[in-house]
Amino acid sequence: MHLAAYQIILITVYAFIAINDSLISNTLTQPAIAGMISGMIMGDIKTGLMVGGTLQLMRLGIAAFGGASVPDYFTGAVLGTAFAVISGKGAEYGIGLAVPVSLLMLQLDVVARFCNVYLLHRVDKAIDNMQVNRIPRFVLSGSFLWGLSRAIPILLMLLVGDAAVTTITENTPEWLMTGLKTAGGVLPVVGVAILLRYLPTKQYIPYLLLGFFLAAYLQVPMLGVSIIGVVAAMLVFKRDSEKPMAQSASGSETLEGGFDGDE
């Protein structure tokens, strides 16, 4: 498959808008959303959802606290989906390719933040000089540079990707392709393991084992496991909501005729 001009333009524009949206709602940069939209543009939404959904699992245990830079799974989902469709190798190939792209974009993320620090100092200087009219221009310039920090790399990779990816896939050794596919299957498990490390998993072990049993041994589809998970969450929520009421009732009975009920 060859990339059409309109596909390159749409994906680049989406990348520019999405990375700016991350400063507000952080919705369009979610790997699952990025993979779905990229898949729609490429005409293969199934592959997009598989690539984006897998990267979403990897992203669950990672967060950019305090402005720290983390692997850019958004760009990885966009380019992984595009290259998976172009090469015809499937979602596993796209996932394996998306991981190094995400790590590479981590370095470019640092460069983008550095450029915005320069503009921030210009804003501070404008405030000191009471040049209020210049502040919106600097703020918009920072937003423009932030959008270009993803739009330009994605555009360049898409422009060279049509021929480059096809050539690479045709000449890539079988052992390397197998390694990329294996990494694509293992890395989501690492993301889930990191997430479970920081969640109160011990008190919900029975539910975790039940979900594993249903999926692994009874081959229940993911939708069925999700429905059971929702039911379990509702039961836990109802149980935890009734605890304060029970404690309050038992506490009022204990205090009756006590400290302030001597009469």
179 has pLDDT over 60: yes
Q: How many CB atoms lie within 10 A of CB 78?
A: 34
> Which one-letter amino acid corresponds to residue 262?
D
Per-residue model confidence (pLDDT) at position 167: 65
pLDDT digits 0-9 by tens, 103-159: 777 767 777 777 777 888 888 888 888 888 888 888 888 888 888 888 888 898 888
**Assigned token pair, 9:** 């333009």
**Assigned token pair, 70:** 């983390």
User: Which range among 8-17, 111-120, 156-165, 211-220 shows the weakest confidence by mean pLDDT?
Assistant: 156-165
260 SS3 class? coil
Q: Nearest CA to 116 among 136, 144, 135? A: 144
169 SS3 class? helix
Residue with tokens 């309050």: 248
Measured CA to CA, the distance from residue 34 to residue 17 in angstroms comes to 12
pTM of the model: 0.63
